[in-house]
Each structure stands twice: as structure tokens, then as C-alpha cells.
Amino acid sequence: MRVLAAMSGGVDSAVAAARAVDAGHDVTGVHLALNRMPGTLRTGSRGCCTVEDSNDAWRAAEKLGIPFYVWDFSERFKEDVVDDFVAEYAAGRTPNPCLRCNEKIKFAALLEKAMALGFDAVCTGHYANVVTVDGHPQLHRAAEDAKDQSYVLGVLDEQQLNHCLFPLGDTPSKAQIREEAARRGLSVASKPDSHDICFIPDGDTRGWLSERIDLEPGRILDDQGNDLGQHDGALAYTVGQRKGLKIGRPAPDGKPRFVLEIRPKTNEVVVGAKEQLAVRTIRGIRASWAGQPVPAFEQFLAEQPQPAGATSSSIRVEVQVRAHGESLPATAWLESAVDDDAAEPATRVELIIVLDDSLKGVAPGQSAVVYDGTRVLGQAKINTARAGAPADLGSSA
């Protein structure tokens, strides 16, 4: 196949490109220039997509003997990832920019351009597997749980999965990737993994947001509505946050307080005990399927439009709500609901997830990715998260 290898400048994408070459593919390397902001050169393991990374990707391509290009996707990145990040915080939600970058940039804009240029697939250094069953692709977890990145790939649809190569998915450990890179003479063999948000390389999300969102002082309340003090801007907080509240006096029981809710319309932050972060029921919007939907979901979608409150058959799944979070057993189904965000009266399909056991710190705006064993079924953006479970499921649901 003609393969376009997305080379970030890190060790994973370099080894993935090398393995694609070894597999006999006609490989071309490309580095995506995503960030034009000054002062974004990498410091240790912070940041990515920098000039330094571009040079590292070029050196790796030279070593592999493959053509190499730099494509400027910075404008698209700003619109689809950075602006979305700001808008989500402005709405009181906590976004996942890495997942959005995969959805909008690496497997939409990049894949679209690759297909237009005659490439058959895009190869990346993500740790995940694509398995073809009865002619249809399925997304599965990587062999190494600690490095599994299927969560941030849960937004990929069937058409995209048909054109993805993840050569690292079956590798048991990251140590083996570094050893392989060293054997191949790749200079990135010992380069640190990138952490934090690439367009906020100093890690100061609050400071970065304050330059882009009008952060007005407001009130900090407890769950009973009692005024506990003033915050510097509700939109810079996230559900589950403990530090930076600056309340000045302890809770009656002396225990720390955590952010329970952000209310952007009233510019209020609600805080409470850690136990109050426990969530059982998640309602997700903008659901998408990684491959074909399971039969129960497929039937529901085929019967649209549904009256408000209609449900499809429920299925047993596991759900993950953070990139490196635990996968927990749950029951899931689809449901029609009134779309309060629509300009005209409308209904929308929501993915309802009821966890067997409570989970703390589930933030609206994050993605809930549902699994059947190692297989990713799909995902939805968390719209609301509540403590209780529907009564008809019973206490053990």
C-alpha cells in the first residue's frame, strides 16, 4: 500500500513508520505543523508539535530513507481544536483536546488529504489495534494496557478505521519500542514522551484561558447554596478539582472540598465533599460508533425518529471516562430526548450509561468510551453526570 506516516517527532511515530517500511509499504513521512504560537519549544516532556519536533521527525525519515514533508495544518488546528477547547471551557465543560485532534485533524483533515493524493492509509504511533471481522473494521485495545490509546481513538468511524495503520498495537511494552529505535539508529530513542496539552506547554491552563476568556470574579457555594467566598473565574475550574479554591476556612468536618459543579450562566462554582463527586448515571450526546454499531443500537438508529423517552435494548459494556482511567462495568442504551440546545424544537439521540459502582470526578465535556472486552464500540460526549441510577435498574445495576 501507499502509506502516509504521520511523524510527530517522537519515538512512537518513528518506529511505527519504520515498521510500515519493513512491511513492504511505500511510505512517505509527514509532520503536521499545528502550532504557530511563539515560545512553544519543548521543555523536557512538556509540549509537542514544535520546531524541535519537526527536525526530529525529519532526521528519523532520513534514517529510514523515506520522503518527508511538513504540512501546515495550524489554521485548521486552531479552529477545530484550540477554539473548541476555549468554547468548551466557556460553556462550563472540560474538553479533551487530544481526542478532538484525532477526530478533526489526524483522521479527518490529514486522512482526507492523504486519500486525495492517492495514499491508501495513514500510519501513526498510537497504541491500538484494528481487527477486520466479516469485512468490517473493529477498534481494539493495545496489548499493553498502560500505553493503550484506544480511548482517544474512540471517535474514529468505520470509514476512517478502514484506512488506519497502528503498527505498535501488539507491542508488549514501551521499553521494547525504545530498544528497537536504538537498534535502528533513530536519534529519538531516548526522547521523553510528551505530556500536558501541546498548545499550553507550560502547563498553566488557568493562565492560558485567562488570556482568551473573560474570567469574572464570582461566588463559591456549597451544595446548600451557602456563600463560601469568591473565585477568580468559574470557567477556569473543572469538576473534581481540589487545589486553587482559596476558600480560606475549612469545611465543618475539616475535610478538603472539591469542585462539584460549574455554573457558567451564573458564574458560580459549587464545592463539597469528595463523596459528593460519586456518579452512577452518565448521559452522553453526539454519540459515534467505532465501526458498526451493535445490533441493539443499530435497530434503534434505523427506527429514528423516536418519540422522546423511547429506548433501545440495553447492553452490558465497560466504560472509560478518562484517557488513562479505569474501565468500569456498566449498562448502556440509546434514548431519544429533547434537544434543548437546538434553535428549533428537535430531539436528539443520547447514550445513557449506568455504572455498576459509583465513579468520582466525572466531568461534562469529557468523552465516555464504551467497550465490549477489548473492542471499542463507540463514544459520546458527557453532557450530564448524576449520582443516582434509574429506579427500574434496581440497586445492583
Taking the C-alpha atoms of residue 144 and residue 166, their distance in angstroms, rounded to an integer, is 13
183: helix, coil or strand? helix
The residue count for the chain: 397
CA angle, 156 as apex, 135 and 147 as ends, to 5°? 100
SS (H, E, C) 58-80: HHHHHHHCCCEEEEECHHHHHHH
E runs forming strands in 75-185? 121-123, 128-133, 136-141, 164-165
Task: Give the active site residues.
Answer: 101, 198
Q: Are the beta carbons of 155 and 99 closer than 8 angstroms?
A: yes
188: helix, coil or strand? coil
Contacts of 243 (CB under 8 A, 6+ apart): none
Backbone angles phi, psi at 104, to 5 degrees: -95, -30
What single-letter amino acid sits at 180? Answer: E
The β-bridge partners of 219 are 230, 268
Q: Are the beta carbons of 93 and 54 closer than 8 angstroms?
A: no
Taking the C-alpha atoms of residue 377 and residue 358, their distance in angstroms, rounded to an integer, is 22
Q: List, as one string, the DSSP characters of 198-233.
A: TT-TT--HHHHHHTTS----EEEEETT--EEEEES-
50 DSSP assignment = S
